[in-house]
């Protein structure tokens, strides 16, 4: 079975905005495959090119070079008119919701159905079904201005799903929402994926969104995809600094320099950070067993462990006291199984 979305060496260059400025390579030689049923995260800081990337997938932007294939259809070969039915088969939700303020909630959800030429009766039935699905049946006659941010995004999702698309694109869909509402919307997206079987592409700058929702991820920096794979693999074995920074931004598990300085003042011994990953089997229990085996005393002084794709990920920082040779042996032992970083004191 072919991939839901295939990008082949896709590049998008925007002309310089000023006469003297250089052209901007928003997306630079990106190739990736998104399989059916995936919840695929694209993570990057703002300006990394991820919003342009997602707009290439539904051809709101045309690539400068490369091919974009969605559901077996090469979008780069279609005319602007030919793209319209293709776009109608791809749902899109926006950070700022982009609801029509002049239409009611029901009117907004019915809009794509009108575009697709559904009859009035079929539209009404489908709108009622969608309102039920997103839990807003009582808001049908209200206008977007009367809704909260989370409710507006639910309408956005219902509207995007109206024509039964096989693919849903979400551009920073939760970035304008508070944490509680974010979780509700992510849960709804998860239902869209699991109950309706819709493939979802999630654009975000928030690691927590990726770890909560996605099974696969691509990390973007300066228009390029610098790492991609299963969420757990990418985040448990980051190869790039940018990926480590995203993990740190979500976990806060590794002590910063100022925290380290305080830890040193407070605790005697050597300060060591040990990565916690599922595959090594290095749970907290086995760590304490190893400490005992090497006759080293260790106090947990910092750390954080969370779940990514229902598997543990994080790190613990110890203050180790005891014979230096024994500590070295312990670190060598641990280092054979997982990532170990000793924070040596910087001597002036």
Partner 1 sequence: MRDDLWPVLWTAIGETLQMAVSALVIGGIAGLLLGIALYVTRPGNLLSNRPVFYVLNILVNIVRPIPFIIFITAIQPLTLAITGVSIGIGAAIPALAIMTTFGTSRIVEQNLVAMDPGVIEAARAMGAGPLRIIATVIVPETLGPLILGYTFLFVAIIDMTAMAGAIGAGGLGDFALVYGYQRYDQAVTWTAVAVIVLLVQVAQFAGNWLARRVLRR
Residues that bind partner 1 (CB under 8 A): 58, 60, 81, 84-88, 90, 92, 94, 96, 98-103, 111-112, 114-116, 143, 145, 159, 163
- Nearer Cβ to partner 1 (84/292): 84
Output 51 or 211, the one with its CB closest to partner 1.
51
CB of 105 to partner 1, least distance (A): 14
Measured from the CB atom, the residue of 71 and 282 that comes closer to partner 1 is 71
Find the shortest distance in angstroms from Cβ 139 to partner 1: 15
Nearest to partner 1 of 158, 251 (CB atom):
158
**Shorter beta-carbon distance to partner 1: residue 103 or 190:** 103
Bridge-based pairing of strands 199-204 and 39-43 is parallel
Record the tokens describing residue 19, joined without a space. Answer: 């006469």
Q: How far is the CB of 209 from partner 1 (least distance, A)?
A: 21
H or E element at residue 82:
helix 80-88
Give 278's contacts (C-beta < 8 A, 6+ positions apart): 232, 236, 311, 312, 313
Closer to partner 1 at the Cβ: 159 or 277? 159
Report the distance separating Cα 183 and Cα 208, nearest Å: 10
Cβ–Cβ < 8 Å for 222, 275: no
Q: What DSSP assignment string belongs to 141-209?
A: TS-GGGS-HHHHHHHHHHHHHTT--SEEEEESTTTTS-HHHHHHHHHHHHHHHHHH--EEEEEES-HHH
**CB of 333: closest distance to partner 1 in angstroms?**
55
The token pair at 313 is 């990920």
Q: Which of 238, 243, 305, 248 is nearest to 278 (CA)?
A: 305
User: 17 or 265, CB closer to partner 1?
Assistant: 17
Question: Closest approach of Cβ 59 to partner 1, in Å?
Answer: 9
Instruction: Report, in Å, the least distance between residue 248 CB and partner 1.
Output: 32
Using left for φ > 0, alpha for ψ between -120 and 50, and beta otherwise, residue 145 falls in alpha
CB of 54 to partner 1, least distance (A): 10
Paired tokens of 127? 């709108």
CA distances from 72 to 37, 61, 160 (A): 15, 19, 21
């Amino acid at each position: 079975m072919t991939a839901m979305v295939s990008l082949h060496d896709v590049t998008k260059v925007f002309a310089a905005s000023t006469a003297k400025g250089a052209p901007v390579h928003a997306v630079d030689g990106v190739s990736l495959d998104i399989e059916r049923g995936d919840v695929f995260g694209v993570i990057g800081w703002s300006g990394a090119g991820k919003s342009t990337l997602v707009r290439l997938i539904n051809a709101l932007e045309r690539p400068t070079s490369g091919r974009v294939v969605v559901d077996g259809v090469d979008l780069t070969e279609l005319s602007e008119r030919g793209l319209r039915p293709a776009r109608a088969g791809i749902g899109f939700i926006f950070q700022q919701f982009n609801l029509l303020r002049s239409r009611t909630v029901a009117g907004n959800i019915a809009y794509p159905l009108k575009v697709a030429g559904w009859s009035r009766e079929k539209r009404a039935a489908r709108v009622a079904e969608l309102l039920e699905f997103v839990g807003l049946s009582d808001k049908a006659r209200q206008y977007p201005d009367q809704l909260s941010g989370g409710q507006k995004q639910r309408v956005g999702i219902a509207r995007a799903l109206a024509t039964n698309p096989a693919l849903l694109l979400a551009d920073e869909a939760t970035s304008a929402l508070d944490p509680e509402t974010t979780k509700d919307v992510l849960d709804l997206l998860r239902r869209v994926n699991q109950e309706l079987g819709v493939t979802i592409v999630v654009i975000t700058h928030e690691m927590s969104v990726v770890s909560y929702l996605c099974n696969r991820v691509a990390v973007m920096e300066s228009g390029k995809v610098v790492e991609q794979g299963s969420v757990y693999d990418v985040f448990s074995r980051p190869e790039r600094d940018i990926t480590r920074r995203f993990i740190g931004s979500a976990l806060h598990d590794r002590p910063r320099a100022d925290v380290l300085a305080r830890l040193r003042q407070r605790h005697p011994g050597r300060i060591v950070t040990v990565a916690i990953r599922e595959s090594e089997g290095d749970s907290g229990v086995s760590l304490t067993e190893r400490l005992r085996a090497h006759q080293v005393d260790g106090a947990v002084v910092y750390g954080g462990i969370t779940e990514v794709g229902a598997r543990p990920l994080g790190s613990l920082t110890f203050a180790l006291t005891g014979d230096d040779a024994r500590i070295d042996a312990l670190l060598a032992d641990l280092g054979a199984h997982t990532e170990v970083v000793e924070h040596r004191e910087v001597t002036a």
